[in-house]
Amino acid sequence: MIEDKNQPKTSLGNLGEFGLIEHLTKNFDIKHSTTVKGIGDDAAVLDFNKKVLISTDLLVEGIHFDLSYMPLKHLGYKAIMVNLSDIYAMNATASQVTVSIAVSNRFPLEALEELYEGIYLAAKIYNIDVIGGDTTSSNKGLLISVTAIGEAEEDKICYRNGAKVNDLLVVTGDIGAAYMGLQVLEREKQVFKANPNNQPDLDQYNYLIERQLKPEARKDIPKLLADLEVQPTSMIDISDGLSSEIMHLCKQSEVGCNLFEEKIPLDPQLISVCEEFNIDSTTIALSGGEDYELLFTISQDDYPKIKANPNLTVIGHMTNASEGMHLITRGNEKVELKAQGWNALKNNEGE
Amino acid sequence: MIEDKNQPKTSLGNLGEFGLIEHLTKNFDIKHSTTVKGIGDDAAVLDFNKKVLISTDLLVEGIHFDLSYMPLKHLGYKAIMVNLSDIYAMNATASQVTVSIAVSNRFPLEALEELYEGIYLAAKIYNIDVIGGDTTSSNKGLLISVTAIGEAEEDKICYRNGAKVNDLLVVTGDIGAAYMGLQVLEREKQVFKANPNNQPDLDQYNYLIERQLKPEARKDIPKLLADLEVQPTSMIDISDGLSSEIMHLCKQSEVGCNLFEEKIPLDPQLISVCEEFNIDSTTIALSGGEDYELLFTISQDDYPKIKANPNLTVIGHMTNASEGMHLITRGNEKVELKAQGWNALKNNEGE
């Protein structure tokens, strides 16, 4: 869990920028016929018949990740997941990424190799071409900027603004685990600081920690929906917390929503750790973030097509905008939904 | 030249991430029919008939720019130029960008508004749609990540690897001015530190300083070459210094090169400031960088089509790879070319 101080160290300064990119990406093969030219020129060249999707995200050390418990390989993997998730959230196929890093001299070459191992693994599993990027210095810490590129037929693309009154609200997988994984890791970091010889037993938190450190983007969902012949009316990925994402769909679609507390899918490990931490699991599900599940709406007519599927849970329905956005609690109370998602700008006390 | 301490300050924390993106990009209109959906969903949606070009760059405070003499508006403009230049260097048309920033709490909203004014201006002048991005915190300083997207017919795209023996080596504009502009600004910064009341007269350095602070990408060149019916055999943009870029073309095309010192186009202001600084102007042209001119090769048969054009200067010719890469000096000496371009990773002494 804690950094190994005995790793081999090769100074980045000795390699130079061109040597570094070449070195880090030499094992990255091209998998898509849409990639005409990848790394190695002023720009990559792509060839699409369908519509092209582009999304980009920044991950900053000390803001989005803490290297004291985030292995670099997992970080590389997660950086790709975060971006692919945005493409899948358009009901599209992801095909390429560019990866840029800014890195301080405190990182040896071996650290970047580890980071790129994770990127390589993600690209392999998710069938993605790494087609370019930039590698430069930072004055402090590590920053990763990924741009993901995908494709879709025009009539398959799901925007955030297509939800209609009476549509069903559906979520994939389960929610809240990634956030509680982070809480467990933060607690263990404090324990480690107090007593570095303590070897924590984290087995009972395995699922939560994996959701935090090595999330998987829902590549399977656009394909599943196509197989089920379901075209969602709106879609978004859950990066900031369920509540905040529902509000995005409602506002952009100009509808309201009733979300049923008892329907929100929670993993048993999440429920037990919430009891241990004495936190309400619904609050975590609503505000936790980083689950990278998909949230979408479908016409009620499509309900029979999805009802038996273990990947998909109906958690509510859309209403008239004038009815507002509400959580219906287990006690049948109607509580107004509030966005309390993790806010990268407000939580930081940087320079 | 030096930061105005009395500017209004609105804390970024009060806005939140969604408010910030919306606020900064609300005046950005869509100019291209290829932009189906811009900012505001999980991903942008684009629609191309031609091949798609993608390029990405990171600019880091303290590494690529110094805010003590770089106005934020110019920085925004330059961040776009640096990326468009890569698309033009493929002999292509640039059409969209994504812009992500990581920013510490030391920057008020007004600073980001100024940065985005420069981005807006660049997008307007260069006819570019800003289609997305990410805004987050950094622990230190400002970082800008831009991904540029363009299009071209397949047979118009120029790679770095197509130069042939006997092709002519052609450069646009003039070279070295941006680097000497930086030297002048660095000198004035030192003078200002020693005597803050000193008001420098920088008129005689205007061209050099503008080349450094507000470079222009050569959008005009792909169009000019099409009008002249010239299809370059290879092309690259000059970001790192002429010498380093020539070596990229030679290595990737597997050819050698003779570059003629007397042919390298230098602005009179560059020559006079090099005398003042007692630096050899050829050294600056070869190693300076940040000119964002284009360097390309053409068949000798095309020479009549370009010879009268004031934008284009033939500076050498390609040879067999076995003959190596050489500068032919004014004194008719043959000196081996070396890449001494600015190396972002080696020059930095960060944490």
Query: Which of A97-101, A257-261, B54-58, B97-101 tops mean pLDDT?
Result: A257-261
Kindly state whether residue B346 falls inside one of the protein's structural domains.
no
Q: Which of A47, A64, A91, A147 should we substitute to test contact with B (largest number of B Cβ atoms within 10 Å)?
A: A147
Per residue in A76-132, pLDDT (tens digit) is 999 999 999 999 999 999 999 999 999 988 888 889 899 999 999 999 999 999 998
Asked if the C-beta of B338 comes within 8 angstroms of chain A's C-beta atoms, the answer is no
Q: What is the CATH number of the domain that holds A297?
A: 3.90.650.10
Per residue in B253-312, pLDDT (tens digit) is 999 999 999 999 999 999 999 999 999 999 999 999 999 999 999 999 999 999 989 999
Domain identity same for A203 and A115: no
Range of the structural domain that residue B98 is part of: 12-156
Report the pLDDT value the prediction gives residue A194, as an integer from 0 to 100.
Answer: 86
Q: How many CB atoms lie within 10 A of CB B244?
A: 22
Report the pLDDT value the prediction gives residue B21, as an integer from 0 to 100.
Answer: 67
Q: What's the ipTM?
A: 0.87
Asked if the C-beta of A238 comes within 8 angstroms of chain B's C-beta atoms, the answer is no
With contacts defined as CB-CB under 8 Å, which chain A residues touch B241?
none
DSSP at A167: P
Q: Which of A156, A176, A207 is the last residue of a domain?
A: A156
Mean pLDDT of all residues belonging to chain A: 89
Kindly state whether residue A24 falls inside one of the protein's structural domains.
yes
Instruction: Evaluate if residue A16 carries a pLDDT over 70.
Output: no
Asked if the C-beta of A62 comes within 8 angstroms of chain B's C-beta atoms, the answer is yes
Domain identity same for B204 and B326: yes
Domain identity same for B121 and B224: no
Instruction: Evaluate if residue B316 carries a pLDDT over 70.
Output: yes
What are the backbone angles phi and psi of residue B217, rounded to the nearest 5°? -80, 155
Kindly state whether residue A103 falls inside one of the protein's structural domains.
yes
Instruction: Evaluate if residue B345 carries a pLDDT over 80.
Output: no
Kindly state whether residue A213 falls inside one of the protein's structural domains.
yes
Q: Which of A156, A178, A209 is the last residue of a domain?
A: A156
Per residue in A61-72, pLDDT (tens digit) is 999 999 988 999
Domain identity same for A148 and A175: no
Q: How confident is the model at residue A344 (pLDDT cuts 50, 70, 90)?
A: very low
Domain identity same for A132 and A281: no
Query: Which of A62-66, A335-339, B3-7 tops mean pLDDT?
Result: A62-66
Per residue in B133-146, pLDDT (tens digit) is 888 888 889 999 99
Report the pLDDT value the prediction gives residue A1, as an integer from 0 to 100.
Answer: 43
Q: How confident is the model at residue B93 (pLDDT cuts 50, 70, 90)?
A: very high
Domain identity same for B278 and B245: yes
Report the pLDDT value the prediction gives residue A2, as an integer from 0 to 100.
Answer: 45
Q: How far is B281 from chain A (nearest CA, A)?
A: 25
Q: How far is B258 from chain A (nearest CA, A)?
A: 22
Q: What is the CATH number of the domain that holds B66?
A: 3.30.1330.10
> What tokens does A276 get?
């241990």
Asked if the C-beta of B55 comes within 8 angstroms of chain A's C-beta atoms, the answer is yes
Instruction: Evaluate if residue A351 carries a pLDDT over 70.
Output: no
Sign of the torsion formed by the C-alpha atoms of B198, B204, B209 and B210: positive
Tell me how far the alpha carbon of residue A153 is from its chain's centroid.
23
Report the pLDDT value the prediction gives residue B105, as an integer from 0 to 100.
Answer: 83
Instruction: Evaluate if residue B187 carries a pLDDT over 80.
Output: yes
DSSP structure string for A88-144:
HTTT-EEEEEEEEEEE-TTS-HHHHHHHHHHHHHHHHHTT-EEEE--EEE-SSSEEE
Kindly state whether residue B7 falls inside one of the protein's structural domains.
no
Report the pLDDT value the prediction gives residue A342, as an integer from 0 to 100.
Answer: 45
Domain identity same for A323 and A298: yes
Instruction: Evaluate if residue B344 carries a pLDDT over 70.
Output: no
Instruction: Work out the angle at residue B257's Cα, subtended by the Cα atoms of residues B252 and B262, and round it to the nearest 5 degrees.
Output: 135
Instruction: Evaluate if residue A350 carries a pLDDT over 70.
Output: no
Close Cβ partners of B83 (under 8 Å, ≥ 6 residues apart): B55, B56, B57, B94, B97, B146, B147, B148
Q: Which of B156, B185, B200 is the last residue of a domain?
A: B156
Q: How confident is the model at residue A347 (pLDDT cuts 50, 70, 90)?
A: very low
Q: Given the structure tokens 């980001």, which residue do they identify? A: B112
Asked if A42 and B86 come within 8 Å (Cβ–Cβ), the reply is yes
CA dist B293 and A99 (Å) reads: 25
Domain identity same for A181 and A286: yes
Whether the Cβ atoms of residue A145 and residue B56 lie closer than 8 Å to each other: yes
Which residue of chain A comes nearest to B253, CA vs CA?
A41
Q: How confident is the model at residue B18 (pLDDT cuts 50, 70, 90)?
A: low
Domain identity same for B251 and B315: yes
Q: How confident is the model at residue A3 (pLDDT cuts 50, 70, 90)?
A: very low
Domain identity same for A149 and A241: no
Asked if B54 and A106 come within 8 Å (Cβ–Cβ), the reply is no
Domain count across chain B: 2
Domain identity same for A135 and A195: no
Rounded percentage of chain A residues whose pLDDT exceeds 70 = 91
Secondary structure string (H, E, C) spanning chain B: CCCCCCCCCCCHHHCHHHHHHHHHHCCCCCCCCCEEECCCCCCEEECCCCEEEEEEEEEEECCCECCCCCCHHHHHHHHHHHHHHHHHCCCCEEEEEEEEEEECCCCCHHHHHHHHHHHHHHHHHCCCEEEECCEEECCCCEEEEEEEEEEECHHHCCCCCCCCCCCEEEEECCCCHHHHHHHHHHHHHHHHHHCCCCCCCCHHHHHHHHHHHCCCCCCHHHHHHHHCCCCCCEEEECCCCHHHHHHHHHHHHCEEEEEEHHHCCCCHHHHHHHHHHCCCHHHHHHHCCCCCCEEEEECHHHHHHHCCCCCEEEEEEEEEHHHCEEEECCCCCEEECCCCCCCCCCCCCCC
Q: How confident is the model at residue B59 (pLDDT cuts 50, 70, 90)?
A: very high
Domain identity same for A59 and A125: yes
DSSP at A178: H
CA dist A191 and A200 (Å) reads: 9
Close Cβ partners of A220 (under 8 Å, ≥ 6 residues apart): A311
Strands A135-137 vs A93-103: parallel, antiparallel or unpaired:
parallel
Q: Which of A222, A257, A238 is nearest to A337 (CA)?
A: A257
